Amino acid sequence: MNSITWHPLSETLSLQRDTIHIVRVGLESDDQQLDQFQALLSPDESARADRFKVSHPRRHFIVCRAVVRQLLGQCLGCDPTSVEFDYGPHGKPAVRQAGGPRIEFSVSHSSDQGLIALTLDRRIGVDLEEMNSAVRILKLATRFFSTLEALELASLPEAEQLAGFYRGWTCKEAYLKATGSGLSFPLNRFSVSLNPHVPAQLIEVVDQPEELTRWRLLPLEPKAGFAAAVMVEASADEVVSWQLWSVR
Ligand SMILES: CC(C)(COP(=O)(O)OP(=O)(O)OC[C@H]1O[C@@H](n2cnc3c(N)ncnc32)[C@H](O)[C@@H]1OP(=O)(O)O)[C@@H](O)C(=O)NCCC(=O)NCCS
């Protein structure tokens, strides 16, 4: 993990192609705050919120989507309620824009935390997971990871396997979210490095070797007990800066 500082977000994000903004959001809210957030959602988003059977995920979804709207509204110079989304074939949301440089963003939430990544004209994906030491990681890795990844995980010292597993999980999800394919792209068709001591990178995409030099990965620990990763479309010779922000 790196030790980059998270700054309170007190200004409008300045979106530039070479800057990757990562915004950490606490998703807990009281009832009054929740009402204010819900007022920012579109009717279809409110209907989706109403379909949640369990209260906490419903509340977290509302807060997270409302903060996404606030951030995008600021970037577009419009009211959060005016932001419109289109959805890719596998559900990836994209801002509806008339023209100009494309605002790219990605969202992930886990438990009471959300993470939103934004940039300009570069595909981006983010994933956040609360780490759970009770999961049977070697069994899950054998089932869901590539052979290369499962072997690397098993070769790590036992004390590092939990971190290695979540490094792999979040990096893999970040890639699937950056491309927008979601789980339609098989998890065993590509590999990421899992060793928490080496820089995270995409190390194999079956039949698509050109992918390896197309993407940059940033693993993060946004809060103790959580693992996250951001995958952004940027080759090794491009300079990008990472800006980490906290809201709420
Ligand atoms: C939907 C998916 C893209 C991510 O789901 P997830 O990890 O459960 O949830 P996250 O909180 O990280 O991401 C949800 C957000 O991703 C976005 N999203 C949905 N579909 C997406 C897609 N195809 N591409 C990119 N982003 C997508 C939405 O903004 C969504 O936010 P919302 O629920 O507030 O609308 C998909 O990859 C999935 O179902 N993953 C299951 C997780 C899994 O089994 N992983 C195996 C371990 S390696």
Whether 69 lines ligand 1, by a CB cut-off of 6 Å, is no
Every domain of the chain and the residues it spans: 127-242
Q: Which of 103, 144, 177, 232 to mutate to test the pocket of ligand 1 (most atoms within 8 A of CB)?
A: 177
Mean pLDDT estimate for the chain:
95
The answer as to CATH 3.90.650.10 being correct for domain 127-242 is: no
Distance from residue 232's CA to the centre of ligand 1 (Å): 16
Whether 105 lines ligand 1, by a CB cut-off of 6 Å, is no
Distance from residue 200's CA to the centre of ligand 1 (Å): 20
Write the pLDDT tens digit of every residue in 18-59: 999 999 999 999 999 999 999 999 999 999 999 999 999 999
Q: Residue 10's pLDDT is what? A: 87
The percentage of residues in the chain with a pLDDT greater than 70, rounded to a whole number, is 99
Average pLDDT over residues 194-211: 95
- DSSP states of the chain as a string? ---PPPEE--S-----TTEEEEEEEE----HHHHHHHHTTS-HHHHHHHHH-SSHHHHHHHHHHHHHHHHHHHHHHTS-GGG--EEE-TT--EEE--SSSSPEEEEEEEETTEEEEEEEESS-EEEEEEE--TTS-HHHHHHHHS-HHHHHHHHHS-HHHHHHHHHHHHHHHHHHHHHHT-GGGS-GGGEEE---TTS---EEEETT-GGGGGTEEEEEE-SSTTEEEEEEEE--TTS--EEEEEEE-
Identify the residue whose C-alpha is closest to ligand 1 atom 47: 169
